[in-house]
Copies of this chain bind each other. A is one copy, B any other.
Amino acid sequence: MQTFALLGAGFIGRVHAENLAAQPHIRFARIFDVDPARAGELAALHGAEPAAEADEVFADPDIDAVLIASSTNTHADLLKRAAAAGKAVFCEKPIDLSLEVARDAAAAVRAAGIPVMMDFNRRYDAAYAAVHDAVQAGEVGQVELVSMTTRGPSLPPIDYLKVSGGQMRDQTVHFFDLLRWITGLEPVEVYVAGAAMVDPAVAEVGDVDTSVAVLRLANGAIVQIDSQRRIGYGYDERIEVNGSVRMVEAARHRTGFVNHYGPGELRTNGLDVGWFERIRGTYRKSLDAFVDALEHDSRVPAPLEDGLRAQIIAEAATESLHTHRPVAIPEGL
């Protein structure tokens, strides 16, 4: 039985805390947050001990693994300290907004040989997993066209957008990972057309809120990913993989099956309100997979390298957005 500590007690930290507490194969021992009150409160709720400093956690020989759920700009540093301390890590994405910083952390991780799994939790969505399995089983034949949609209900605050790294690094990046995972193919080139349709302030901070990314995969297949920050009808994600033999899609996720029939019209359930409603269940399954890998001493399913690859693609996509030209995606890490 592995003993875990949680780093970060904000919104997503609290989600992880609940899952850590409910996970039957681990012991959930400690919680650190920059705000000690927040750490203390969450620790009390789940019967864990608060830590006054992150180093308490790293120095504690009982702790086998840490779950990094603190703010993005702390991830790389915590990864390096975990590497130094020889702790396994389950890490919220991304590694860092700066690819250089991320690479530096990755190097430390590799040198230390600790297992690090990125929390690419959408891989554990039942629908996306079904698409992955169908594609990997050869059901669609050769992949020829992939279509992905990621659309949220409302524009994040402009202050957030300023430090988010931009739509590609902040929003589309999750689908860059899904693309690699589902197809098993590396994208080699990307072109992005984007616009600030919702609020001119988005453009003023150098970002877009509406975009389409077009990628080429190593086998020549074409990919389209549309990303929107604010749509008028809820939260919308979908993935479609179209191959030489057939097509498989994770279609829009409607919230139910209540039908109101009137003259010439059917009204029925629409989409989820937001991203959390759509994918909340996936955090638990993602954590379970990490615990399972630790227990069986097997390779974690979404290693740090996958995090780096997704960021490398996002980097090229961001460059295309700004240069207005297709950009080659470098191989390797």
- 1/0 per position for A130-150, CB-CB distance to B under 8 A? 110010000111101101000
Q: Which residue of B lies closest to A252 (CB)?
A: B257
Q: Which of B222, B232, B248 contacts A211 (CB 8 A)?
A: B222
* Cβ distance A258 to chain B, nearest Cβ, rounded Å: 4
Q: A144-B210, A191-B191, A259-B249 are in contact. Are A267 and B269 (CB under 8 A)?
A: no
- Bound CA span A234–B245, Å: 11
Is the Cβ of B232 less than 8 Å from the Cβ of A222?
no
Is the Cβ of B231 less than 8 Å from the Cβ of A247?
yes
Q: Which of B234, B243, B249 contacts A264 (CB 8 A)?
A: B234
Q: Which of B141, B197, B269 contacts A265 (CB 8 A)?
A: B269
- Bound CA span A236–B265, Å: 13
- Bound CA span A191–B198, Å: 23
- Bound CA span A154–B151, Å: 32
Residues of chain B lying within 8 A (CB to CB) of residue A220: 195-197
Residue of A242, A243, A269 with highest tally of chain B CB at under 10 A? A242
Is the Cβ of A222 less than 8 Å from the Cβ of B226?
yes
Residues of chain B lying within 8 A (CB to CB) of residue A189: 193
Q: A193-B326, A224-B226, A226-B224 are in contact. Are A246 and B264 (CB under 8 A)?
A: no
Is the Cβ of B224 less than 8 Å from the Cβ of A232?
no
Is the Cβ of A258 less than 8 Å from the Cβ of B269?
no
Is the Cβ of A141 less than 8 Å from the Cβ of B258?
no
Residues of chain B lying within 8 A (CB to CB) of residue A139: 260
A40 within 8 A of B: no
* Cβ distance A250 to chain B, nearest Cβ, rounded Å: 6
Residues of chain B lying within 8 A (CB to CB) of residue A228: 144-145, 242
A300 within 8 A of B: no
- 1/0 per position for A266-297, CB-CB distance to B under 8 A? 11111101000000000000000000000000
Q: Which of B212, B222, B234, B267 contacts A222 (CB 8 A)?
A: B212
Residues of chain B lying within 8 A (CB to CB) of residue A273: 264
A108 within 8 A of B: no
Q: A224-B226, A226-B147 are in contact. Are A246 and B260 (CB under 8 A)?
A: yes
- Bound CA span A231–B139, Å: 14
- Bound CA span A317–B321, Å: 19
A254 within 8 A of B: yes
Q: A216-B193, A253-B257 are in contact. Are A247 and B221 (CB under 8 A)?
A: no
Q: A214-B212, A265-B267, A267-B266 are in contact. Are A248 and B242 (CB under 8 A)?
A: no
Is the Cβ of A259 less than 8 Å from the Cβ of B269?
no
Q: Lowest 3 A-B CB distances belong to which pairs?
A: A233-B261, A251-B257, A130-B258
What are 16 sample pairs from A and B whose C-beta atoms fall under 8 A apart?
Answer: A127-B258, A144-B210, A147-B226, A191-B214, A198-B244, A214-B224, A247-B261, A248-B258, A248-B260, A251-B257, A252-B257, A254-B266, A264-B270, A264-B273, A265-B268, A266-B267
